[in-house]
């Protein structure tokens, strides 16, 4: 089941998101997701662990049919007030999605795998319900900010007490162990813990800089490749019985 955000967690996250000081970080993460996922208006997408719906808002604005699922009723309440009936909302867990195979063009996790019990099963489920691409956004355990968050979780009570941090190669290895040699690409943002100034912001948006493996937020895209399972079928064959003697 993993860690489910309670009422205090949901309100604290909403306050953090609405704080203008954090907007540049949020915008960088959202832009990275859209650049890598490349969704097209009219496509379908599911946000697994949708939280307060900030990623869903991005998809709705682009004309996608968006669905969100989250185990926290408090997070879903905030999303419902924000987006209403413009998205489909479900309460459930990443490891057991209540959708048929290939139900969506795309699936995304954004700071969701950190809080699930079985990340391998969650990735399997995302790849089952999506048919084109899966985006995974996680906290980078090797970034300066990632180290700060982990230390904060050790010293004070916060959601980081319950978070599992990832490295790029660790995450890539997990994906390949589940799906085999599928195409996988990654980039990172939030290289500098507290970006300020036009130069820093321009630096963060550089595609070259985003290839640095130490940004605080890792974005990874899996391009799904159809796989077919075959099984041998027994052929029913009955020889023809001939009558009479052979001539010649």
Look at residue 131 and give its three-state secondary structure: strand
Does 203 score more than 80 pLDDT?
A: no
Please give the average per-residue pLDDT across 222-247, as a whole number.
Answer: 65
Q: Which of 142, 136, 224, 147 is nearest to 186 (CA)?
A: 136
**pLDDT band at residue 244 using 50, 70 and 90 as cut-offs:** low
Q: Which residue has the higher pLDDT, 210 or 52?
A: 52
Provide the percentage of residues in the chain whose pLDDT is more than 90: 64
Q: Which of 95, 48, 100 is nearest to 69 (CA)?
A: 48
| Domain 7-223, CATH among 3.40.50.1370, 3.40.50.300, 3.40.50.150, 3.40.50.1970 | 3.40.50.150
> pLDDT at position 8, please?
93
> pLDDT at position 1, please?
58
CA 118/CA 77 separation, integer angstroms:
25
> pLDDT at position 49, please?
96
């Amino acid at each position: 089941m993993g860690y489910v955000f309670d009422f205090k967690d949901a309100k604290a996250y909403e306050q953090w998101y609405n704080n203008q000081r954090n907007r540049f970080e949020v915008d960088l993460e959202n832009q990275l997701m859209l650049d890598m996922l490349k969704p097209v208006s009219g496509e379908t997408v599911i946000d697994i662990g949708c939280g307060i719906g900030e990623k869903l808002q991005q998809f709705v604005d682009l004309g996608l049919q968006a669905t969100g699922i989250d185990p926290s009723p408090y997070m879903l309440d905030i999303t419902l007030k924000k987006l209403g009936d413009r998205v489909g909302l479900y309460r459930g867990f990443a490891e057991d999605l209540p959708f048929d195979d290939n139900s969506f063009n795309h699936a995304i996790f954004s700071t969701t795998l950190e809080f699930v019990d079985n990340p391998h099963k969650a990735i399997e489920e995302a790849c089952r319900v999506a048919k084109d691409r899966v985006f995974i956004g996680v906290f980078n355990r090797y970034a300066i900010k990632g180290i700060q968050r982990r230390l904060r979780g050790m010293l004070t009570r916060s959601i980081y007490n319950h978070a599992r941090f990832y490295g790029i190669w660790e995450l890539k290895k997990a994906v390949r162990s589940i799906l085999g040699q599928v195409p996988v690409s990654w980039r990172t943002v939030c290289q500098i813990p507290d970006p300020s100034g036009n130069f820093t912001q321009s630096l963060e948006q550089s595609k070259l800089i985003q290839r640095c493996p130490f940004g605080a937020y890792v974005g990874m895209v899996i391009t799904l490749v159809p796989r077919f399972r075959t099984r041998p079928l027994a052929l029913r064959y009955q020889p023809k019985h001939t009558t009479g003697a052979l001539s010649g």
